Amino acid sequence: MSDTKTNQSLAQAFARLSKAAARRKIYSRKAAKEGRPEVARFLRAMSASEAVQAHRLFNSLIGRVDTSDAYLSSIFEEEVLTILENYSELINNAAAERPALLHALSQLRAVETRLRSFYSQDSKDVHVDNDACYFVCSFCGYLSTDSPPEKCPICGAPIDAFQEVL
C-alpha cells in the first residue's frame, strides 16, 4: 500500500472500525445473556453500522492494498507467527494468573496452527483447492475443508456448530 498519510490513516481507521464492530457483536451477546434484549439489539446495530463503515473505508484502499505473493507470504510468515507467539505468551501468563483460561488459549493456538498448515514455506504459497468448501467451528474457529467433521477435533463441538463460509 502506498505510504501516504491519508492511506495510513485510512488503514488505521479501517482496523479500528473492524475491531469495534467485532467487539460490539460480542458485547451484544453478553447483553442478551444478561436479559437486556434492547441493549443487545442496539449493539448489533452498532456492529453492523461499523462493519459497513469499515467496508467502505476498505473500498477506498482497493488498488492500494498489497495483494502480491509477497503479501500472501507475509500473512503466514509474519502475521500468523505473531499471533502464535502472542498465544504462547498468553498461555505462559495465564498459567500463573488465570489457569482456567489455559484450555481455551491452547485450543485457539491449535486453531491458528491449523490455519498455518495451509501454507507451504518451501513454495511460499497457500495450498487450496479451487473447488474447496470451508466450514468454521463457531466455538473455537477451527477451519475444516470440504465438509464439517462430526465433532470438532479441537474443541469437541458437534457438527451443527460449523458454519459454511460462502
**pLDDT (tens place) for every residue of the chain, 166 residues total:** 456 888 788 888 888 899 999 999 999 999 999 999 999 999 999 999 898 988 888 887 766 556 667 777 788 888 888 999 999 999 999 988 898 899 999 999 999 999 988 888 777 778 777 788 999 999 999 999 999 999 999 999 999 999 999 8
Q: 80 and 52: one domain?
A: no
Q: 117 and 141: one domain?
A: no
Q: 27 and 79: one domain?
A: no
Q: 9 and 49: one domain?
A: yes
How far is the C-alpha of 37 from the C-alpha of 58, rounded, in Å?
A: 31
Count the domains in the chain.
3
pTM of structure: 0.69
Q: 21 and 47: one domain?
A: yes
Q: 56 and 70: one domain?
A: no
Q: Which domain holds residue 163?
A: 130-166
**HSE of 142 in the Cβ direction (CA atoms, 13 Å)?**
23
How far is the C-alpha of 112 from the C-alpha of 110, rounded, in Å?
A: 5
What's the CATH code of the domain at 156? 2.20.28.10
